Chains A and B, each alone.
Chain A
Amino acid sequence: MNIIFKIWRQNGPTEKGELKEYLIEGLTEDMSFLEALDYLNEALVLKGEKVIAYEYDCREGICGQCGIFINGRAHGPHDHMTTCQLHMRSFKDGETIVVEPWRAASFPIIKDLIVDRSAFDRIIEKGAYISARTGTAPEANALPIPKLVADKAMDAAACIGCGACVATCKNSSAALFTAAKINHLNSLPQGKAEQHQRVQHMTAQMEAEGFGSCTFTGACEVECPEAISIANIAEMNARKLKANLLG
């Protein structure tokens, strides 16, 4: 396959960026999208040019590092998929593919396609944990958790923190990310004691980081690799109301 890539190049956070065009020939349909970029980078090195900076690690769809905007969609043309799971068979020979970094004020660009998502970590820092010390736990089965509750917690816990929800949202809202974590912990008995604080502190941090507010367009759910439901956001809002009343 021959592909024309239009890729965002930006040398540093404060520098100006632009889309640059690259033609690559000889790709195969079996290649993953990231392998196609690897291939392009090898060619750039041999030409003496700087490589395109992009991120990835596990290439198994789970580490959440490989977020890229492809042809105007987070992680490319498919619903519920990470960039590393995307294969060139999803594109046509001769196609032009536009590749850009996540665009959100709270995710500043570091270089080329790499953005800084540490705002997510700071939201986690504000309460996405259960305050128990190591080595103090009671016997695990002493606290039964019905399957339906555990499954629901797991549905929310599946979030991989890739940031596609923010990138795809017209308001750059981090509501899906934050809601997923809150609902995971708040729905479990272990998380109940700190539930009100958790929702208040985490949502406050989300706002402080400059993420926009949620207007329920549902775009995030479509792009989320784990298909985390936007019902989580409604639930978070309800929890927040309750926390404000009772907290």
Chain B
Amino acid sequence: MKLNSKVPEGPLEDKWRNYQLKSRLINPANRKKLKVIVVGSGLSGAGAASTLAELGYDVQCFCYQDSARRAHSVAAQGGINAAKNYQHDGDSIYRMFYDTLKGGDFRSREANTYRLAELSAPLIDHFVQQGVPFAREYGGTLVNRSFGGVQVQRTFYARGQTGQQLLMAAYSQLYKMIHAKKVQMFTRCEMLDLVVIDGQAKGIIARDLTNGNLRRFAADAVVLATGGYSRVFRLSTLAIGCNGSAIWKAHKKGAFFAAPSFTQIHPTALPQSSDSQSKLTLMSESLRNDGRIWVPKRQGDTREANKIPESERDYYLERRYPSFGNLAPRDIASRAAKERIDAGYGVGRLKNAVYLDFKHAIEQFGLDTINDRYGNLFKMYQKITGIDAYKEPMMISPAAHFSMGGLWVDYELMTTIPGLYAIGECNFSDHGANRLGANSLLQASVDGYFILPNTINNYLAGKPNAQVPSVEAPAFVIAEERVQAHIDRILKVNGNKTVDHFHRELGKTMWQECAMSRNKSGLVEAIAKIRQLETAFWKDVRVTGHDKEVNTELEKALRVIDFIELAALMCTDALQREESCGAHFREEYQTKEGEAVRVDETFLYVSAWEYNQGDFKLHKEPLHFEFVQPTVRSYK
């Protein structure tokens, strides 16, 4: 199968307009006859569901939480990027496009990345109109700050609750359309399989989490908006329920999986403090605007931070990357922290952290300003650690955070299964090998509000006479039977180990071998271990209770076995890509100074994997850089 990215003709700045001019339209009277399933009600899913409903489609929307308002988008703290140039500091769509492309180490598609930047400014207008209380100057204009990896101020924010405020806006639009009876919402309802008929996506099998009943839903098109899968590492900044099941099931039904191993490791999480920990808490990256990162110059220094004089502190980011300093992109900042920690300079009880110090910022701007900027983060830090970060530096540590990989999609955000779309974090598209801070809320939102509602017509218009299949069709019956058999199989094992045991083991292997740095022998070994873990799961897992009730343990088990299978693909992908780029750092490919070495001659493509009976077949989408020449990504 040849991958067709469907990038439109013409100069970069005209592509999206050209696409819209040529894409097919559907008359409003016909739209209401067309049914669309949207799985996920985060920023991307809620945006898509409400906009599709506004357009007149008949929409069904799903989420596993008790309310759409709790999708993981809610947890984003830092902000959302847009090229508005309000600060008059030289920002533009082109600069944002370039920063994003370069930030992703030239492993994303030019046209998609440009469109992301292009649609950012109207998105802010849109959110403001919906009542998002973004931070403002006294006179009433919008404020911006800068975020990791860029030198302009293009990040809009709403205190430390940007994600919540944007999601509340999207969720309220969704409920407006629910009220208008244009969207049917299914909360506590988890998609467990995709139904494909004649090669096209036609529906889903979902489990009602309140009573365990399996249900069939049919539609003319299916949109997945199910978020990131970085809980494959178990310890991550993601919500506990985040999973890869929907996209994994779609992958097994024929959707290609792109760049699975590109995982962003965020530099500013709270360090792990014990083995029993269930997740890592993120401290917003915005802290790096004013906080300075350092470790003691002496290995194993056990003095309290405040007792270590200036001359004995190593501000290693400022030392290694003088022009970006503490604002170096996430992959660089995370790897530099790991390097110092591994070399024996880590701080904290488990020696797994570095300092993030506000002393200088407080001296320069005063306590009030710092409190105004980050007060809620300082409070949160104190709640969790018991430490007052106004008085002593915070301790931070890298943590798995974002999946740049996901289902392969073309310019229309359609996967390799016609009629199946993937939007938001669960597709691979715009970030390349590394996502710049504050670009993800943006991508999720523009995918859902602006792009998908324009591109889905093009597919649906081609099916004037198609009918929503009956849920009694054989494909639905078979899919449901398989899901039931899978559940029964899990419940029957009745072994000696908990689901969490398997998740912890998986997480340890993935963190060691497929996170911030990778090497050939480690990855080969990891794949073998993951296969063993898979076998062990089916022999040894124990899930109590039954399936026709609320069974949170069963929910977990279903997700963890998918993570195990997905982990094998992630390691396969990391093994295959013999170069270092963005978040993917292959130890074999680095300079003497420890900087990444990209191999453009061989790897200038998106890896798109096809599922093949438990094995994976590689397809390549060559990346053409028509407008920008890939350069060495340096932040020195």
Among A113-121, A168-176, A228-236, A238-246, the stretch in contact with B: A113-121
Q: Are A185 and B131 in contact (CB under 8 A)?
A: yes
* Contact flag A143-B128 (CB < 8 Å), given A51-B545, A157-B165: yes
Chain A proximity of B454: nearest CB distance (Å): 9
Evaluate whether A111 and B139 lie within 8 angstroms (CB atoms) in the complex, with A64-B70, A87-B384 already known: no
Are A45 and B273 in contact, with the CB atoms below 8 A? no
- CB contacts under 8 Å to A, within B242-287, are 273-274, 276-279, 281-282
> Is B131 within 8 A of A111, CB to CB?
no
Rounded to whole angstroms, the CA-CA distance of A60 and B399 in the bound complex is: 14
Chain A neighbourhood of B141, CB < 8 A: 141, 144
Q: Among the listed A45, A65, A132, A191, which residue makes an inter-chain contact with B543, where contact means beta carbons less than 8 Å apart?
A: A45
Given known A-B contacts A31-B274, A35-B276, A158 and B72 have beta carbons under 8 A apart? no
Contacting A30 at CB < 8 Å: which of B50, B164, B274, B499?
B274
Which of B118-126, B315-323, B462-470, B588-596 participates in binding chain A? B118-126
| Residues from chain A with Cβ under 8 Å of B544 in the complex | 44-45, 48-51
CB neighbours of B500 from chain A (8 A) = 38, 42
* Bound CA span A190–B550, Å: 41
- B128 close to A134 (CB less than 8 A): no
Q: Chain A, 105-135, contact with B by CB distance < 8 Å: what is the 0/1 string?
A: 0000011001011101100111011111111
- Identity of the chain A residue whose Cβ is nearest the Cβ of B160 in the assembled complex: A62
Tell me which residues from 150 to 174 in chain B have a Cβ below 8 Å from any Cβ of chain A. 158-159, 161, 163-165, 168, 171-173
Instruction: Evaluate whether A41 and B131 lie within 8 angstroms (CB atoms) in the complex, with A118-B67, A125-B179 already known.
Output: no
Nearest residue in B to A115 (C-beta to C-beta)? B66
Q: Does B30 contact A (CB under 8 A)?
A: no
Q: Are A191 and B131 in contact (CB under 8 A)?
A: yes
Besides the known contacts A41-B553, A51-B553, A136-B129, 15 further A-B residue pairs in the complex with CB atoms under 8 A apart:
A28-B276, A30-B273, A48-B544, A50-B551, A57-B241, A63-B239, A121-B67, A134-B50, A134-B54, A134-B173, A140-B128, A144-B136, A147-B137, A150-B136, A153-B131
Chain A residue with Cβ nearest B242 = A57
Smallest beta-carbon distance A53→chain B, Å: 5
CB of A28 within 8 A of CB of B274, answer: yes
Closest A residue to B501 using CB positions: A42
Q: A144–B386 Cα gap in the complex (Å)? A: 39
Q: Tell me if B384 and A85 are in contact (CB < 8 A).
A: yes
- Tell me the minimal C-beta distance from B461 to chain A in angstroms: 19
A34 touches B278 (CB 8 A): yes
Q: How far is the CA of A151 from the CA of B173 in the complex (A)?
A: 22
Residues on the B chain within 8 Å of A190, using CB: 128-131
What 9 A-B pairs come out closest when comparing CB atoms? A144-B140, A129-B172, A137-B125, A137-B129, A154-B133, A140-B128, A150-B136, A153-B133, A57-B239
Q: CA of A12 to CA of B175 in the docked complex: distance in angstroms?
A: 28
User: For B478, what are the chain A residues with a Cβ–Cβ distance below 8 Å?
Assistant: none
For A124, what are the chain B residues with a Cβ–Cβ distance below 8 Å?
69, 171-172, 175
Residue of B nearest to A61 (CB): B380
A111 touches B129 (CB 8 A): no
Q: Contact: B126 with A59, CB < 8 Å? A: no
Q: Is the CB of B383 within 8 A of A147?
A: no
* Interface residue B302 (Cβ < 8 Å from any Cβ of A): no
Contact residues in B for A53 (Cβ distance below 8 Å): 550, 552
Q: Taking the complex as formed, is A74 at the interface, i.e. its CB lies under 8 A from any CB of chain B?
A: no
Taking CB atoms, residues of chain A closer than 8 Å to B98 are: none
**Is residue A91 within 8 Å, beta carbon to beta carbon, of the partner chain?**
no
Asked whether any CB of chain A lies closer than 8 Å to the CB of B542, the reply is: yes
Query: Given the interface contacts A48-B544, A117-B66, A144-B139, does A58 sit within 8 Å of B239 by beta carbon?
Result: yes
Q: Does A103 contact B (CB under 8 A)?
A: no
Chain B contacts of A45 at CB under 8 A? 498-499, 542-544, 553
Q: Which residues of chain A from 154 to 196 have a CB within 8 Å of any chain B CB?
A: 154, 157-158, 160-161, 184-185, 188, 190-191
B172 (CB) vs chain A CBs: closest residue: A129
Residues of A within 8 A of B126 (CB): 134-135, 137
Q: A45-B542, A65-B65, A144-B141 are in contact. Are A59 and B278 (CB under 8 A)?
A: yes
Is B176 positioned at the interface, with any CB of A under 8 Å from its CB?
Answer: yes
Which residues of B are found within 8 Å of A44, using beta-carbon distances? Answer: 544
A38, chain B: closest CB distance, angstroms: 6
